[in-house]
A and B are shown apart, each in its own frame.
Chain A
């Protein structure tokens, strides 16, 4: 079988699996967030944290819950790493340095999972399981909670109430993330991923010599790493490591885990706003961009233009033989179009255009399908921008899902889409202008610039993947990328929740003959165009200096 055909068949199998999971998972999530009943274990948790799950919250209270919970998460994870050297189960590893501990704490709480450390050489079992794995669950649940609050904003009228943050958080973890992760972990263990608390083993190498490896609860962390679109690997090689991702099937299964919630939540959205067709329109927009990017990535990576490519059957530098060009391309696009950031190949080694595609995927705002929850709310913000543009064209007050998109809503949406580009472009420019940060670049010229642009794009968009080649374990990068991750995560949430509160307070506007039909393919096309144009106008100059310049020169 040719590598191209194998890649296409993998994509077809993945699409089929996602299609099969879409309805049951989407409906399940809608039931979870609409139910009045609390499970017994949830009641124990509410009692433990002193929260009343039945109190309705307006957006400022909901946001206070998000911020308080996340701030405590950062401080706890920071402390855990700083005290690792004194804790049991640390495998003898010393405490993490302050700047790196801050970076890692910000990274895992913000659902970014940028790692400026080698997992197998720095983090013991306690930090991995009690710190990083816990954040993999709760940071994903926070994202879903904020998305659900926005959906309630569309679904509710004449009330500013958006639900209860603590209830949404706990239900997301207990009823969605843990059950699916358990199934995912069992599949991964069955396929060869490791799951133990072993210490360090001396392992003989095929080509001679030996290497030391520690064990760990890898499969369970791998499942939530992908399902929660987190991406932080147990090992430095991430999903290119055979302990995390043993074979071609697990590679595809991990991509499935990455995409399943972000795609299924569009059905949850349709259910909760009372129109499945609206959910399908959002799904179609996400799927169009995802398939388009995957096809483009495969084309650039399979494209034979040099003798080395012809011999290898594609651009194989930095890619695993177990997964090939097809599996690596599918993984790279899924990882960077969501907020996952896991890798099974090294994006720096992709062709110039291939590297640009991974970067552009993040720069779109990771909305196709995006992170768990964050993908949906990012896409709904773009939908509001799209109906606003359509309203300007025909001279009507824009409406979306029966709500008027007036001045406050547009202000919130506009602020949302400006935050991340501002963080990325300003921090990249400052890093390039200062004398020391460019010393961390492994390569000169356009590729070196891409390394820094990619780092801030990944951090501020809460992706977490690394281009490779940048020595980011410096005070400057640890601190500034840490700040970019926190601000890139929580500032947009302010505007999402403010928008939700504003929408929930409105009375519904009845649809008329002049209302833009947002469940139709025309709107899907408009939305895709809006996303590409907004991202293109924002990032094109920076992309032209990096991956585009490199791609055109090669």
Chain B
């Protein structure tokens, strides 16, 4: 858990906008598929590589541990 983050007015505004219609049902906000790709950035590549590197490092250490 955490109570560690600043407020996000922009997100809040968006969420309010999405709350209208059929008495707060399940807002279906679906955008086109090309938009999915546009959301991804170089930072995503960096974090995906970081994740793979962390697990590869743990696996490498395990190989070393097997020789202890």
Q: In this assembly, does A341 line the interface, its C-beta being within 8 Å of a C-beta of chain B?
A: yes
Whole-angstrom distance between the Cβ of B36 and the nearest chain A Cβ: 5
Q: With A71-B51, A236-B3 as known contacts, state yes or no: A92 contacts B30, CB within 8 Å.
A: no
Whole-angstrom distance between the Cβ of A124 and the nearest chain B Cβ: 9
Across the interface, A232 reaches (CB within 8 A) one of B1, B30, B36, B59, namely B1
Across the interface, B51 reaches (CB within 8 A) one of A75, A113, A415, A466, namely A75
Residue contact B28 to A82, C-beta cutoff 8 Å:
no
- Contacting B at CB under 8 A, from A183-233, are 197-201, 212, 214-215, 231-233
- Chain B neighbourhood of A60, CB < 8 A: 62, 66
Task: Annotate B2-32 by CB proximity to A: 1 below 8 A, 0 otherwise.
Answer: 1111111011101111110000111111110
Q: With A75-B48, A199-B19 as known contacts, state yes or no: A70 contacts B55, CB within 8 Å.
A: yes
How far, in angstroms, from A22 to B25 measured CA to CA in the complex?
Answer: 42
- Chain B neighbourhood of A468, CB < 8 A: 3-4
Whole-angstrom distance between the Cβ of B59 and the nearest chain A Cβ: 6
- Chain A neighbourhood of B68, CB < 8 A: 408, 411-412, 498
Q: In this assembly, does A317 line the interface, its C-beta being within 8 Å of a C-beta of chain B?
A: no
Q: With A86-B31, A494-B58 as known contacts, state yes or no: A470 contacts B4, CB within 8 Å.
A: yes
Across the interface, B47 reaches (CB within 8 A) one of A85, A102, A236, namely A102
- Contacting B at CB under 8 A, from A515-535, are none
- Chain B neighbourhood of A116, CB < 8 A: 2, 4-5
Residue contact A115 to B27, C-beta cutoff 8 Å:
no
How far, in angstroms, from A150 to B62 measured CA to CA in the complex?
Answer: 16
Partner-binding segment picked from A33-41, A361-369, A393-401, A483-491 = A483-491
Across the interface, A115 reaches (CB within 8 A) one of B2, B31, B44, namely B2
Residue contact B1 to A199, C-beta cutoff 8 Å:
no
Q: In this assembly, does A507 line the interface, its C-beta being within 8 Å of a C-beta of chain B?
A: no
- Chain A neighbourhood of B5, CB < 8 A: 115-118, 236, 471-473
Residue contact B58 to A92, C-beta cutoff 8 Å:
no
Q: With A92-B18, A93-B11 as known contacts, state yes or no: A342 contacts B47, CB within 8 Å.
A: no
Dominant secondary structure at the B interface: helix
Q: With A473-B6, A491-B58 as known contacts, state yes or no: A93 contacts B47, CB within 8 Å.
A: no
How far, in angstroms, from A408 to B67 measured CA to CA in the complex?
Answer: 10
Whole-angstrom distance between the Cβ of A161 and the nearest chain B Cβ: 15
How far, in angstroms, from A251 to B68 measured CA to CA in the complex?
Answer: 47
Nearest B residue to A100 via CB reads B5
Residue contact B6 to A487, C-beta cutoff 8 Å:
no
Whole-angstrom distance between the Cβ of A346 and the nearest chain B Cβ: 7
Q: In this assembly, does A83 line the interface, its C-beta being within 8 Å of a C-beta of chain B?
A: yes
- Chain A neighbourhood of B2, CB < 8 A: 114-117, 464-466, 472
Residue contact B26 to A83, C-beta cutoff 8 Å:
no
Whole-angstrom distance between the Cβ of A105 and the nearest chain B Cβ: 8
How far, in angstroms, from A121 to B47 measured CA to CA in the complex?
Answer: 23
How far, in angstroms, from A231 to B2 measured CA to CA in the complex?
Answer: 9
- Contacting A at CB under 8 A, from B47-68, are 47-48, 50-52, 54-55, 58-59, 61-62, 65-66, 68
Whole-angstrom distance between the Cβ of A117 and the nearest chain B Cβ: 5
Q: In this assembly, does A403 line the interface, its C-beta being within 8 Å of a C-beta of chain B?
A: no
Q: In this assembly, does A495 line the interface, its C-beta being within 8 Å of a C-beta of chain B?
A: yes
- Chain A neighbourhood of B65, CB < 8 A: 412, 415, 494-495, 498
Residue contact B50 to A71, C-beta cutoff 8 Å:
no
Residue contact A233 to B1, C-beta cutoff 8 Å:
yes
Residue contact B39 to A89, C-beta cutoff 8 Å:
no
Residue contact A94 to B14, C-beta cutoff 8 Å:
yes
Q: In this assembly, does A303 line the interface, its C-beta being within 8 Å of a C-beta of chain B?
A: no
7 A-B pairs with C-beta separation under 8 A: A86-B31, A91-B19, A95-B39, A198-B24, A212-B12, A341-B1, A466-B2
Interface residues, chain A, with chain B CB atoms under 8 Å away: 60, 63-64, 67, 70-71, 74-75, 78, 82-83, 85-95, 98-99, 101-102, 105-106, 113-118, 121-122, 125, 197-201, 212, 214-215, 231-233, 236-238, 341-343, 346, 408, 411-412, 415, 455, 464-466, 468, 470-473, 479, 483, 486-487, 490-491, 494-495, 498
Those 5 A-B pairs whose CB atoms lie nearest each other, nearest first: A92-B18, A199-B24, A200-B19, A98-B43, A466-B2
What 9 additional pairs, Cβ within 8 angstroms, besides A60-B62, A91-B19? A78-B51, A83-B36, A88-B30, A91-B15, A98-B46, A106-B51, A113-B1, A114-B2, A468-B3
